[in-house]
Amino acid sequence: MIQRDAHTISLWQDHAGGYNTINKADRGKTYDVIIAGGGITGITTAFLLQNAGRNCLVVEAANLGYGATGGTTAHLNTLLDVPYDTIQRNFGKEGARQIREATAEAIQLIKHHIDRFDIRCGFEYADAYMFAQTEREAAALKDIAEATLMAGADVSGVDKVPLPLGAKKAIKVTGQAKFSPLPYVQRLATAFEHIGGTILQQSRVTAVQDKETILVITTQGPFHCRQFVYATHIPPGVNLLHLRCVPYRSYVVAATLADNNYPEDLSYDMQQPFHYYRTQMVEGQRYLIVGGEDHQTGHQENTENCFRKLEAHVRELFNVEDIRYRWSAQYYEPADGIPYIGRLPGQTGEIYVATGFSGNGMVYGTVSALLLKRLLLGLHSDYIKLFDPSRIKPVAGFNTFVPHNADVVKQLASRLFPAEKLEQLAGLAPGEGKLVNYEGSKVALYKDEQGGLHAVDPVCTHLGCEVHWNQAEKSWDCPCHGARYSVDGQVLNAPAGKGLDPHDIK
């Protein structure tokens, strides 16, 4: 099993062995490109650039698949979370057409890699169904269907969906697919190394300085390159993109069914938040995979309840034999509905980024790789302007938020806290965490299963918001930009580059 940025265990991570690198990183040489992040975006970008003759190094803070790629549900779809009528409103008919075309190309590229490297990852083409259960949803689905058709997809109205429920209105879109993400990413990583690429795991990029060459400081020392890519899902540090991307958590269960009646294809309801359904065969066992209960990171106190609600929903619809896996992971919702891929705003040098994928980062991560390859090679692409991270699209309804807690939380560094008093204040059960007030200051306190207390400063090191406890993942999550920390304050998710300050407990 590989590690993930979470306490819960995903179906994919449980079935993946650790990735053993082949080539050694060389500090003495100047790489053409260094890519931070070993998820689908980083590995695909690295492979395409290496294949085009560039000498690339991937620097991964933990292990391949540690981020959302290890916690995804791996629908490969052009029928996206942000519907085409919204994309059309924000980017016009041509923009919507380009998005459909780019995502379809991404699915083709994934299939091409699977065929070329004989990747056993259970890839299958599928149809996607979206269905309405109320009159209001039916009216919205009509608009979505029209815009999806106009964007170039093969859309048809259908009477039935492949789920045991009735629908007022439903559409089917062909040309979608599904797979297991980690065998794909790991095998593509091997192919990348076979053609001369290098991967450095357990090494976090802590700073990038644009000098004569680009100096990349990592926890395993400095490296040099000419071009640099942040494929870290969200870039670390402080950037305009943190105000344009909202972090969300989504919950997933993988169940076995007593009646073997597994739904084929991909299905999406239109509830708020919506549910997404599919089946995947993994090592001879079929799993029904259902996701949903999404909420803004740090905005839901009882994250266990999200799993309970999702499980209840699955048990109501299906004849569940066993819930084998339940996990949650994070994604980033872009302000205007489509990702930010290109030059990192505010930088003069050749520093690039790919972020804001919503729940479609398998395809958008691959779209990013295709576009970044052209950008870094200095080639033209029709998509450069569309995905430009510096674009300004003020769209109605997007609730930007800025850190608002910084001034109310005092710095607590180097204070000594009496354990007895802290415990009384918190009244914690083993396995629980809580923000407690101690003499006018706040402490993020966790009690482990053995009764040991872990206290850290609750001020997020990114922009100073106050972190919230996530019971299901046993992590401290920042509601502002989605940085996440372990109970001892170590960084689990960017954009934070530095952990929470630990506090000594007497």
Ligand X SMILES: Cc1cc2nc3c(=O)[nH]c(=O)nc-3n(C[C@H](O)[C@H](O)[C@H](O)COP(=O)(O)OP(=O)(O)OC[C@H]3O[C@@H](n4cnc5c(N)ncnc54)[C@H](O)[C@@H]3O)c2cc1C
Alpha-carbon span 105 to 360, nearest angstrom: 14
Q: Output the 3-class SS for 205-216.
A: EEEEEECCCEEE
Exactly one of 344, 494, 500, 505 binds ligand X (CB under 6 A); which one? 494
List helix spans (H) across 151-271.
181-194, 241-244
Residue nearer to ligand X on the CB measure, 59 or 375: 59
218's tokens: 């990592």
Comparing CA positions, the residue from 208, 229, 233 lying closest to residue 481 is 233
As measured in angstroms, the least distance from the Cβ of 227 to ligand X is 16
Alpha-carbon span 318 to 305, nearest angstrom: 20
Spatial contact of 266 and 131, defined as CB atoms under 8 Å apart? no
b (16+ CB within 10 A) / e for 370-400: bbbbbbbeeeebebeebbebebeeeeeeeee
Write the interaction track for ligand X spanning residues 182-211; mark x where CB under 6 A is met and - where it is not.
Answer: ----------------------xx------
As measured in angstroms, the least distance from the Cβ of 115 to ligand X is 20
Amino acid identity of residue 273, one-letter, is P
Alpha-carbon span 344 to 241, nearest angstrom: 9
**Residues near 88 by Cβ (< 8 Å), separated by ≥ 6?**
95, 96, 147, 150, 151
Work out whether 250 is an interface residue with ligand X (CB under 6 A).
yes
289's tokens: 């995979």
Alpha-carbon span 157 to 163, nearest angstrom: 16
Exactly one of 11, 42, 167, 376 binds ligand X (CB under 6 A); which one? 42
Write the interaction track for ligand X spanning residues 394-413; mark x where CB under 6 A is met and - where it is not.
Answer: --------------------
Residue nearer to ligand X on the CB measure, 13 or 86: 13
309's tokens: 């609600």
Exactly one of 69, 180, 267, 280 binds ligand X (CB under 6 A); which one? 69
Which region among 85-93, 356-364, 391-399, 452-460 touches ligand X (by CB under 6 A)? 356-364
Neighbour count for residue 438 (Cβ, 10 Å): 18
Work out whether 361 is an interface residue with ligand X (CB under 6 A).
yes
Work out whether 367 is an interface residue with ligand X (CB under 6 A).
no
Exactly one of 12, 16, 39, 344 binds ligand X (CB under 6 A); which one? 39
What's the alpha-carbon Rg for the chain, to the nearest Å? Answer: 22
Alpha-carbon span 461 to 459, nearest angstrom: 6
Exactly one of 46, 60, 176, 186 binds ligand X (CB under 6 A); which one? 60
Residue nearer to ligand X on the CB measure, 371 or 422: 371
As measured in angstroms, the least distance from the Cβ of 435 to ligand X is 25
Q: Which residue is nearest to ligand X (CB)?
A: 361
Question: Contacts with ligand X in 280-339 (CB under 6 A)?
Answer: 291, 329-331
Which region among 71-79, 154-162, 401-409, 471-479 touches ligand X (by CB under 6 A)? 71-79
Exactly one of 46, 61, 314, 335 binds ligand X (CB under 6 A); which one? 61
Residue nearer to ligand X on the CB measure, 458 or 482: 482
What is the binding site for ligand X (CB under 6 A)? 36-42, 59-62, 66-69, 71-75, 204-205, 231-233, 236, 250, 252, 291, 329-331, 357, 359-363, 365, 494
